[in-house]
Amino acid sequence: MVINRTIGDNDNDNLRQNTYNDSCNYRLFADSAMFSNGTVRCSRYQLRVNKMKTETTNRKILDLMEKRTVKFRDGAVHLSKTSKLDGVKSWSLLAKKTCPGSKNASVCNGCYALGGFYNMPTVIQPRVENQKNWKLASWVDEMVAALKNERFFRWFDSGDIYKLELAEKILAVCERTPWVNHWIPTQSWDIEKFQPILRKIDALPNAVVRASAKHVDRPIDSFQNSSVVLSGPDKASELNVTICHSFNNAGKCGSCRACYDKTAKTIGYVQHGKTMAKHVNILLSTIKA
Ligand code: SF4
């Protein structure tokens, strides 16, 4: 059973008014939705439908939730919130499939975005939608609207710049959101066709293109800003890079925003394997104590 119209057609809040004709299947789960003051929230898909007008509509939603499948018309933008970023939202694509720069990057063999929770349908689906939707004419407008309350924004928690047209649209979004500090990590920096546009984005005062080094412990200096994966914390001083302290902060950024800061030339991320070992050691020592 599906709803073939946009729910809350008369509402403007948080609803996209038929900006495109595509529609997708979403699953609503009773335990992830709330009814309060006429608000329905499906946290699993960051899908919100506010100010439900009528009891009839609410009844329909409840019926559909029991049947577990509902069809919504949604906007063209799916932002993610990862626990690491502590509230900073991101826009992502599927890893590897959209990472042309990964071909010569040994560091991508240990990519965190190819395993674990990144294989869940709830994580895959918005990335698949994003890959389709960025090509829409309305996408830049939608991104600008989606960022209206953000101060920091990370591009590509997974995936990368894989098309020139996408890079041009990212430039447009950054230009039109001067109140947002954009962090754009990329392995595509050494692909010639992307370089002029990446440098244009990087020239904006509110955007940092952070070129990701291809190999562990081998920083690069071809871009103003970069990052490198470190085999251990001690490598940071040896390589003269700013260490990312999330490895001893339960994997979270906390209040750090160094990656969005042009003055932090190269950030070193301690490799995840070591992080995990460290956490396990701490856990074991806690248990022993
Ligand atoms: S350097 Fe700071 S902002 Fe960047 S990932 Fe690490 S904790 Fe987060």
Segment 218-228, tens digit of pLDDT: 999 989 999 99
CA of 265 to the centre of ligand 1 (A): 13
CA of 102 to the centre of ligand 1 (A): 22
Domains held by the chain: number: 2
Q: Are residues 182 and 213 in the same domain?
A: yes
Q: Are residues 104 and 176 in the same domain?
A: yes
Highest mean pLDDT among 29-33, 43-47, 218-222, 277-281: 218-222
What does the pLDDT read at residue 104?
A: 94
Segment 111-129, tens digit of pLDDT: 888 877 787 778 888 899 9
Give the mutation target among 90, 181, 208, 267 for probing the ligand 1 site: most ligand atoms within 8 A of CB.
267
What does the pLDDT read at residue 170?
A: 98
State the closest ligand 1 atom to the C-alpha of 264, by its place in the atom list counted from 1. 1
What does the pLDDT read at residue 121?
A: 79
Residue 10 belongs to domain spanning: 1-75
Average pLDDT of the residues in 231-235? 93
Q: What is the DSSP letter of 244?
A: P
State the closest ligand 1 atom to the C-alpha of 86, by its place in the atom list counted from 1. 8
Q: Are residues 106 and 157 in the same domain?
A: yes
Highest mean pLDDT among 18-27, 68-77, 118-127, 202-211: 202-211
Ranking 10-19, 95-104, 252-261 by mean pLDDT, the lowest is 10-19
Q: Give the residue among 227, 232, 20 at the shortest CA–CA distance from 136.
A: 20
Burial of 225 (0-12, 13-18, 19+ CB in 10 A): buried
pLDDT band at 241 (very low <50, low <70, confident <90, very high): very high
Q: Are residues 200 and 256 in the same domain?
A: yes
Q: Are residues 69 and 150 in the same domain?
A: no
Rounded to 10 degrees, the C-alpha dihedral 258/264/269/270 comes to -100
218 — phi, psi (to 5°)? -125, 80
Q: Are residues 144 and 58 in the same domain?
A: no
Q: Measured between alpha carbons, how far is residue 280 from residues 110, 115, 274, 276, 286 in Å?
A: 19, 19, 10, 6, 10
Structural domain contains residue 285: no
Within 10 angstroms of residue 92's Cβ, the number of other Cβ atoms is 24
Q: Are residues 102 and 44 in the same domain?
A: no
Between 152 and 17, the more confident residue is 152
Of all protein residues, whose CA lies closest to atom 4 belonging to ligand 1? 259
253 pocket-lining for ligand 1 (C-beta < 6 Å)? yes
What does the pLDDT read at residue 93?
A: 95
**Does 82 score more than 90 pLDDT?**
no
CA of 242 to the centre of ligand 1 (A): 10
| Amino acid identity, position 22 | D
Q: Are residues 7 and 30 in the same domain?
A: yes
Q: What percent of the chain has pLDDT over 70?
A: 68
246 pocket-lining for ligand 1 (C-beta < 6 Å)? yes
Q: Which of 75, 92, 114 is the endpoint of a domain?
A: 75
CA of 259 to the centre of ligand 1 (A): 6
Of all protein residues, whose CA lies closest to atom 7 belonging to ligand 1? 253
What does the pLDDT read at residue 222?
A: 85
